[in-house]
Structure 1
């Protein structure tokens, strides 16, 4: 039984008084109402607020969320936090990490490392509980005079017309009516706004069920992702562990199909499960015995679902209100932060009259496509973490055993951690004249030196468009290119930087740009265009929204943002084909596999077959 050694440091969100609200006067309208004070809603509100747009946030609760919920924050999310004014606070509190380990029973089968180069300005991933992350966002909101949060105000009705949206809300003083020019629905997976409009998400629901346990536990284990498949502490299932600040550990474990959800989510059952896993780690020498306490528990199932369209008239959906992804690869909150980052500058351009409403169509297309990219990776991770059929379970178990002897198979059990999604299929994508960086790709941030101070490209740019020129280049040419962006979006800031060897962090070489060439990056870090001034394309028309209806995006590859070698793609196809074939031969799988091995063995020849059989025998 866990024993508390001191008062727990587990984060307790600040409680707020319910707001007193008056109905909007006839003829008056709020510029933007954001429904929901979760991460994506607050990211949108802050992004609009720093651009001078007045925003009212309605939150049904009276505090930030409680519990870890999301735990891992990608490099791109850290960039967005910098842009919105709380990046330093996040960096000072969160725990950075670069990789992790996966085990099959007690044998290590994967040790992965995420890309982290000398020019990288932030760690690839940091850990902190979502409750504390949201409170960092709220501190930034408190410093922004353009953003107001109304706590304890729940939306109960939604009606829209050609000029705005009418919201019926429940407040401490009773029912009120608010009128808004635009509404951003960031009110989560059980979105009241989505339900009020009669909209439904579609996709895939997985069978795997997981319990989350946040414990206070002083352990010397490093900050990394640790996963055990089929450990004695949870036979036939999986256990995931992540470290958070203040000696808080998050443990996720899978329930078996026979487990009763109600019974297994009681405090007593969770304590028993965690005790069993930690005792096993003590017995095998992974850890030493330390007291611990259960601080919070949760439950989830893996879902890959989304709305077909994220923009419905004057109502725009973001975050979990628009889409859900399995947690494996930590894409939920991180993709919601991207939603807010993209939506803020586009919606500001429309509100300011710099672009028409069709620019918001680009938001819907880009972020729906980003969801497809995310599930392209997350669904494969989910098939490993929670196999959806007996065929996938058999091949998953085989992969775990084979990977120890043949590491070339380990990429199939790689968790495919969240990375910035691309917008190559966006109607804003510009066909480019030369090979290289593609319009719609996320631009990697890099360390640079400006005026003797180390910073990064994206940090120096902030929420502005970035116009980067490779020197030497005439000042008049730089001014002309920057002027094109300012003409397209007069209310949008433009950051101009001439790069030269020694102060660009190797950016020009990495981008493949020569002297006199330019790269223009959007406020969300997505490449708009690049090349010589004469080859930058008609990006002004795209940004204004005037030509989006018939505009075609640049040709691109498959949705999965994880780039695989040809050999890796082949192994992935074999894994999926074999899994499906096993499901199709459920009556006599052993005979099927024997026949298959005989045919394939004859195809590769006795020498290669002998090598593989020898490795397989050693593993057994």
Structure 2
């Protein structure tokens, strides 16, 4: 019997319109998806009443975004539904990729002894959202209107007047601020006549959930040119309760309407499960269709209307950055907008939200775009190099990193106008970097610091700890109602000091969303924090350091540049055979004869005679129930 999740239905909301001349509500959130609900919970946590509207009569149906990152688990904990979420998820730490029936990649995400949570968990977006609705229903500061959609809006210098369609006729609300979190097909964005800009990739995927007791491990599995469906890429993820998510790529020549019929979907999935050696019954529970896009608004703040999540930006699914980046949006926006509404900051602070989160989108695209070009190459050049990488990786594992899915990790805000500069030569965790939760004795860093700002003193004595607590008290009065917690760590916790790259006596100022705001060597500098946050501009002096969104070894960076450069070059030439011959002669003349002969042999036959594929990758044809 299937245990596929069926969300609850909610009746339409009936409420009165607000008079245009009346006192506006503080915040109206459009869209009760994960991002809109996270923003509402974050604002209510700071004492701000929120009205949330949702056009549907339930949370989303189907798995949709299933991979929740460690950072998003931390966000859920800060928003009050983390414990409930962690009770229903399925953790995983790595995965495998295959070229036809040969393993070409085995990866693991960082998972260290001091980590409080797994690097990634799987759970359907539907269940994720339902836990958020349950938390919202318990919060007296949040009003959620079901079956209510935005029909229009106009704004002035003081508020936004929003026109709504409901089951009981037109309604109107007036809000100081509107958060548009109504998804990739945002009606709010359309009404504002705003366009997403960027890249739409050619790859198309059918996505499906099946109920299947398989015995396979909880890991990400990918087959390129799958023997069960030649020419197609297939992705498999396990979810709780024996639900499996299967994504498979359509050929450009295949008709979407035909390939998304249930009979056709069952046929293709059945072929793959049969190839895996499956003889267990399974049922198709849900299916959808997906095209990869990397698009964003130029600015996420337009007057008193603020965009977040898919309404502001879209990222390809590869690397699972959609929901996870949206949760980051919501948490950053919550504390910054709350500061504006509560009067402890100027509206100019919201420029920092827009700058930070668009830069975060660019970081995500830097990785997700590369993953997409491997998973779903959109040009002859990238298809040729992708296939070459897969062939080479069967015998030369140093090429496997190009296939790595570059799983989601928390983005940084080093270039934010809020981020304090540091002295040149500073190492370790820098201002703008996310500070992950970690075990400290019987507790954890996040439990010690709570949900507000934190002054984290490293290697300080009792006198300095008392001074740090005094600064926290003063700062809390200035940032009210945002709490400020002083956490003093003595020299005995060497692990934390080393992880931070901290000097004795240094203080790390941590934002409510877990990013480092500043590193200061003198507590006197802390007196400038409140003014800095009020106007949203960084202090002058020092140096802001930028790091890459993914850290690669020099030889890996070289191979990545070669892959991208060669792909682009192949797309620009007409005589590809002549081009590749000339390129080989030029490169061959720059290397030794023995190395060149070896390269010729491997290029001619990536897995040449004398190299046993089973020794290299294992008997992966039997991946099925014995994997």
Alignment deviations for residues 564-596 of structure 1 (CA, whole Å, 9 cap, x no partner): 1222111111111111111122x3222221221
- Matched with 2:575 is 588
Q: Distance in 2 between matches of 1:79 and 1:590?
A: 52
Q: Distance in 1 between matches of 2:508 and 2:274?
A: 55
CA contact (8 A) 1:209 1:254 kept: yes
Once the two structures are TM-superposed, the CA of residue 456 in structure 1 deviates from its matched residue by 1.7
CA contact (8 A) 1:68 1:250 kept: yes
Once the two structures are TM-superposed, the CA of residue 177 in structure 1 deviates from its matched residue by 0.8
- Matched with 1:3 is none
Q: Distance in 2 between matches of 1:270 and 1:490?
A: 55
Matched, 1:394 2:388: no
- Matched with 1:477 is 467
- Matched with 1:575 is 563
Q: Distance in 1 between matches of 2:478 and 2:569?
A: 54
Once the two structures are TM-superposed, the CA of residue 444 in structure 1 deviates from its matched residue by 2.1
C-alpha spacing 1:52/1:469, structure 2 compared with 1 (3 Å): same
C-alpha spacing 1:156/1:618, structure 2 compared with 1 (3 Å): closer
- SS of 2:276's partner is helix
Q: 1:323 aligns with which of 313, 325, 329?
A: 313
Structure 1 stretch 482-491 or stretch 570-579: which is displaced more? Answer: 482-491
Alignment deviations for residues 428-451 of structure 1 (CA, whole Å, 9 cap, x no partner): 0111135022110111221113xx
Q: 1:557 aligns with which of 546, 567, 573?
A: 546
Once the two structures are TM-superposed, the CA of residue 373 in structure 1 deviates from its matched residue by 0.4
- Matched with 1:152 is 147
Normalising by structure 1, what TM-score? 0.94
Once the two structures are TM-superposed, the CA of residue 555 in structure 1 deviates from its matched residue by 3.2
Q: Distance in 2 between matches of 1:582 and 1:514?
A: 50
C-alpha spacing 1:252/1:520, structure 2 compared with 1 (3 Å): same
C-alpha spacing 1:334/1:618, structure 2 compared with 1 (3 Å): closer
Once the two structures are TM-superposed, the CA of residue 425 in structure 1 deviates from its matched residue by 0.6
Structure 1 stretch 569-578 or stretch 252-261: which is displaced more? Answer: 569-578
C-alpha spacing 1:326/1:372, structure 2 compared with 1 (3 Å): same
Matched, 1:338 2:332: no
CA contact (8 A) 1:80 1:341 kept: yes
Which aligned pairs between 1:298-447 and structure 2 lie closer than 5 A?
298-433=288-423, 435-436=426-427, 437-447=429-439
CA contact (8 A) 2:448 2:487 kept: no
Long gaps (5+) in structure 1: 1-5, 283-287
Structure 1 stretch 519-528 or stretch 464-473: which is displaced more? Answer: 464-473
CA contact (8 A) 1:530 1:536 kept: no
C-alpha spacing 1:552/1:188, structure 2 compared with 1 (3 Å): farther
Once the two structures are TM-superposed, the CA of residue 292 in structure 1 deviates from its matched residue by 0.2
Q: Distance in 1 between matches of 2:533 and 2:475?
A: 9
C-alpha spacing 1:116/1:385, structure 2 compared with 1 (3 Å): same
- Matched with 1:243 is 238
Long gaps (5+) in structure 2: 609-627
Q: Distance in 2 between matches of 1:555 and 1:476?
A: 30
Once the two structures are TM-superposed, the CA of residue 384 in structure 1 deviates from its matched residue by 0.3
Alignment deviations for residues 254-293 of structure 1 (CA, whole Å, 9 cap, x no partner): 00011000111111111011011111121xxxxx421100
Once the two structures are TM-superposed, the CA of residue 21 in structure 1 deviates from its matched residue by 1.3
CA contact (8 A) 1:426 1:553 kept: no
Q: How many corresponding residue pairs?
A: 601
- Matched with 1:507 is 496
